[in-house]
Homo-oligomer: A and B are copies of this chain.
Amino acid sequence: MPPTLPTQIPEKTIERLSEYRRSLISCYKRGITHIFSHILAGMHGITAVQVRRDLMLIGFSSDTKKGYDVKVLIDFIDTILYSEETMKVAVLGMGHLGQAITKYFNSKNLNIRIVAALDIDEAKVGQTILDIPCYHIDDLEDVVANNDISIVILSLPSSVAAQYTVPIINSGIKGVLNFTSAPFNFTQGIVVENYDITTVLEKVAYFVKANEENNNQ
């Protein structure tokens, strides 16, 4: 049992725990059994104080002479981040982006798994794509109920995304990861993460431009 209530942990800490975990697994595979907070911090471009604060928040403490025990820390983060059972996910929109996401996630050893795709393309509906069945998007409610799906990933065109707001709410979905540029804001206790990749490219471009202008001054 994690020693703190999960909802007391800030979003940013959850993100970093997920990132630490992947770095720790990578270290562990290379035979590294112990790691100091400043080394872990350096891998993520943050301070050791931040790492220690995050781990303190989840109630993790360690022998500081040798650093954190990598395996113990991975297992501890797992108890925070993961349920016992696999969380099931459906992809809405099985185009290029939907397929990329499916291939990417399901190739990883997560206990979050994409188990169904939904699309309107008759060439895809009824088929198995990347080892998962593809259903018609109109059957969302049944697919969610029959497959015990908790989360949907929106990878359909931004222009049509909004029309699936009501079906998503009706389906009983608990979380939405939205890759479209149409922002979703549910007020029904659904966890929503709007994750528009255009925004992040524009942000990089902006700071590149800002750096150039500063250098030219």
Contact = CB atoms under 8 A, between A and B. Distances in A.
A112 to B, nearest CB: 5
B89 A201 contact: yes
Question: Which residue of A15, A182, A205 has the most chain B CB atoms within 10 A of its CB atom?
Answer: A205
Contacts of A205: 81-83, 87, 112, 150-151, 175
A87 B209 contact: yes
A175 to B, nearest CB: 4
Main secondary structure of the interface of A (DSSP, over half): helix
Interface string A179-202: 001110100010111011111111
10 contacts: A22-B196, A45-B192, A80-B206, A95-B100, A97-B104, A108-B198, A112-B202, A151-B205, A174-B212, A177-B200
Q: Which 6 A-B pairs have the closest CB atoms?
A: A45-B185, A96-B100, A6-B210, A175-B208, A97-B100, A100-B100
